[in-house]
Structures are given as C-alpha cells and as structure tokens.
Amino acid sequence: MALLGTAVFCPQTALAEGDARPNILFMISDDVSWAHAGAYGDKVVKTSAFDRIAANGVLFTNAFCSVPSCSPSRSAILTGQDFWRLGEAANLRGTLYMDLYSVYPFMLEEAGYHVGSHSKVWSPGSLEAGGWPHNPAGPATDNFQSFLKHLPDDKPFCFWQGSRDAHRPFEAGSGARSGMDVEDVEVPPFLPDVPIVREDILDYYFEVQRFDQLIETNLKLLEETGRAENTIVVVTSDNGLPFPRGKADMYDYGARMPLAISWPKGVRGGRVIHDFTNLVDLAPTFLGAAGLKPHPDMTGKSLLPLLTSSKQGWVDPDRDATYYGREAHSVYARIRENRRGYPSRAIRTKDFLYIRNFAPDRWPVGREFKDVDPSPTRTYMLERKDEIPRLHELSFGKRPAEELYDLKRDPAQMVNVAARARYKGHKEALSARLEKYLKQTNDPRMRSDGQVFDHYPIWRAVRGSDPQAYELPRQNSVTDLWLRRYGVRLTPGADPG
C-alpha cells in the first residue's frame, strides 16, 4: 500500500502537545442543495440536528463541491484534490486507483485512527479495478452504534456516515403525509411553479428531513458515549438536488453545498462564515486536526484557520473564489456519442459565476435529457415545453462556450450576460483567473490531452446481489485500445504523451 506511508506527524495549531487527537464524524447526504436547511432560512423543511450543529459550531454559506456528480465528488472529498486531477475517477462510474491516490481515511488509519463507514460511501464505480481491499471511505459497519461498540479504548475514530437520502426515486406524497404544506414550498425560479413540481419538492424535503433524523441519532450516540466534546462533526452533501438545473449542473443548485462543522473542544460556536470553501478542503482539515501534514498532492486548503478563529463573516481575503467543474455524469451508454461527457469548468465569486463549456456543440443533459434524473418535474417540463419555453431551454437546451451571471442582479443564474459589452472586463478577468488555476492544478483540459476524459472506461453495475460488482460493457473496446495507446492510470496531472 504505497499510500499508507504518507502520514507524517506535524502538530498544528488545533492540536497542542499532549492533547488527545479529535474523533471525526463525517456525515454526507445524497443530492441535497445548500438552501434546504433551517439554518439557511428554509421555513418548510425541518432540520433541527443540522441547525444545532451550525449553532454550536460554524455554518459555511459559500461551500461548493468539486464536481456536482456523485462518485467524482466523493473522490475529490477523499483525496483532497480537484476532481480533474483524478484520472478515471473524474467521471461517474469510473474507478479511483489505490496505488495512485492517497485518501484521508487510510492516512488516518496508518496514524492510529480506527476507521469505518456506513451506507453510501464511494460509489458508483469499480472498487475492484482500483485495487481497494475495502471502500476508500473505510471498512463497512452495520451502523455508527455498532462501530462505536467495537471501538478500541485507546484509539480516536474516523467515521464516514453516508446516506441515500435524498437520491431519487422519492415516495410520491411522502412530504405531504409528513405534515408539510405544499403551499409553503418556495419554488426556485428556474422551475415551473405548478402543483406537481411543488409536490415533488415536498417529497424531496421529506428525504432531507429523514437524513436529519440520522444526524440526530448519531449525535445522541456521541453524547451517550461521552465523545461529543472532542469530536469534529461535519455535515454536507455530494451534489445538488435531483431536479433540472440542479444535480450535474454548474449552477448554485447543482454545486453549492450545505456545510456545518462543530468541534466543542476546538471551535468557538455560533459563527457564520462567508468565505469560499470547497469540499476538497475537508481532507487537509481532518489531517491537520489529527496533527498530520496533508498529502503533497492535495489541492484543498485546511479549514482549521477559519474554524479556530474567533472571527466570522468574511475572514480570509484569499478565499474570495472557488473552482469546480464536470465531465461525464450519465450512466447511460447512448446519452452521447461514445459515452462522451459534457466538460465544463467554473469560477464562483461573490458577484459572478463564470462557466467555460469546452464542448458547446454537445447537449448538456444528453440525448433524451437523461443527465436529469427521472422525476415528475422532468416529465412535466418535457411534456409542457411549449407552455414554458424559456424554462425548458434553460434546463435542456444547448449552452454557449462561455456563461457569465451577475449574481447581484440575477441570483438564480438565469440570464447569461457573457456576450454583453458592459461585462467584457469582468468576463475576461474571470476567464484568465480560471485558466490560471486550472493550469496550476494540471487540468488536462488546459493541455492538448483534454480529450482523455472522453475515453476513460465507464463501468456498469452487474445485476445481482453484490452492490459493489461492476463490469465494462462491450462498447468500451475502442476506449480500451485508445487508453493503451495514449496512457491510462495517469498520476495526478501527468501528461499521457
């Protein structure tokens, strides 16, 4: 295991000499956008556990994922690296090679932590192809209670609590049956405000609340076992809500994440921080809190300076932007020719969102619009497209090479001003800044080999009882020949030549 030798002890400000190393409880939902928690002002969905973590710790208002797609986002979290540096793991249903990429749970395990996981972890994709003895998020356990029961007395722990909430499909009517009122739903302006969409959002809310109940259960276990004081608790999601112009898209409802972090022993609570953060920052944060140096390949920056500060609001002037993107998201073989993705990169600041689409000739959500999860909302928008032409085009239409949104005038990001003369200076400055960062972090899209993402093999699940079983479909034969010729299993940022 080459990656296990990378854990180097280096006391940080958060870990004074003689202090017990903190436990780490990481809880991640599936397909939840930042706006849907009481702490962020949502008046319908009830998230008392998340809100309590935010009140007792730090609430981040500008947290973003590296990529608004499931397994690539989780790969970025685990490695602390921008997703475009992770080879095949940049695509949904790829693989993350164990001998090429270090992950924080293994580094902590090597440093003496007891590591485990439950429910949705790194997936979907092929673990076997990556060479993992178990999921990179940690060995599977029955639940957090079982994990704590078998925890050695002399070890701190690192636990990944996953969930499949709020991944579709939803149970129709579950939101209304839970007591929420469909009339209270605030429909995002890029979706049609009609009863069927309101009901769909309400069912999504029910799933968000169910995840919050899981958070509550785990918090009680920490209290009952006396571990709450010295446990870093983190709650977030992997990508945005499963609606059109949400999940897999570059706009806020796709990439902006809920994030609350508490640590009673090390963090002063009751603070709200607006600095731009990215989920790739979590791995170096966890390692630093444990007294370890981040792996040199990590591009994320530790959040410890923000967490241990007494300040709130805008704290670090260097955190005035974040960067993210996407490649292949769909699980469907024929969504685009040769399974190609929709390559995009973005820079998000306080005032603007700038998006670079590298293949504007492709359909962003693919043929038959399958990059949008099946749902009553999608069905309504496709069947009634003549009644809602602008909303339909925003969610399903082609997009230009550049998009720019003025967030002061257009917080919902519905009016692309990239071609307007008055925004030329802003667009050019953001474009240059984005390119500079992508080059610094060795994004292949900034080099001649950017097409490598379009040729990585996409694994599919094998029907049967083993949820981790994946195989390559026959359509990958051409891809395999291409990769053998031009280089596969690339090291971070390597040029295949």
> Residue 261: in which H helix or E strand, if any?
strand 260-262
Q: What is the distance between the alpha carbons of residues 60 and 64, in angstroms, rounded to a whole number?
A: 10
Q: What is the distance between the alpha carbons of residues 241 and 254, in angstroms, rounded to a whole number?
A: 7
The 10s digit of each residue's pLDDT in 106-146 is 999 999 999 999 999 999 999 999 999 999 999 999 999 99
The 10s digit of each residue's pLDDT in 15-48 is 555 579 999 999 999 999 999 999 999 999 999 9
The 10s digit of each residue's pLDDT in 409-426 is 999 999 999 999 999 999
Q: What is the distance between the alpha carbons of residues 188 and 171, in angstroms, rounded to a whole number?
A: 21
Domains annotated on the chain, with CATH: 11-315 (3.40.720.10), 323-455 (3.30.1120.10)
The pLDDT value recorded for residue 213 is: 98
The 10s digit of each residue's pLDDT in 44-68 is 999 999 999 999 999 999 999 999 9
The pLDDT value recorded for residue 488 is: 44
Does residue 263 register a pLDDT over 50?
yes
DSSP-assigned beta bridge partners for residue 339: none
Q: What is the distance between the alpha carbons of residues 443 and 326, in angstroms, rounded to a whole number?
A: 12
Whether 186 contacts 173, CB under 8 Å:
no
Does residue 345 register a pLDDT over 90?
yes
The 10s digit of each residue's pLDDT in 156-210 is 999 999 999 999 999 999 999 999 999 999 999 999 999 999 999 999 999 999 9
Q: What is the distance between the alpha carbons of residues 383 and 378, in angstroms, rounded to a whole number?
A: 9
pTM across the whole model: 0.93
DSSP-assigned beta bridge partners for residue 471: 460
Q: Round the CA-based radius of gyration of the chain to a whole number and report it.
A: 22
Query: How many helices (H) and strands (E) in the chain?
Result: 14, 16
Give how far Cα 335 sits from Cα of 300, 329, 377, 379, 459, Å.
32, 10, 20, 17, 15
Q: What is the distance between the alpha carbons of residues 29 and 181, in angstroms, rounded to a whole number?
A: 23
The pLDDT value recorded for residue 17 is: 52
DSSP string for residues in 331-347: --TTSSGGG----EEEE
Q: What is the distance between the alpha carbons of residues 296 and 19, in angstroms, rounded to a whole number?
A: 25
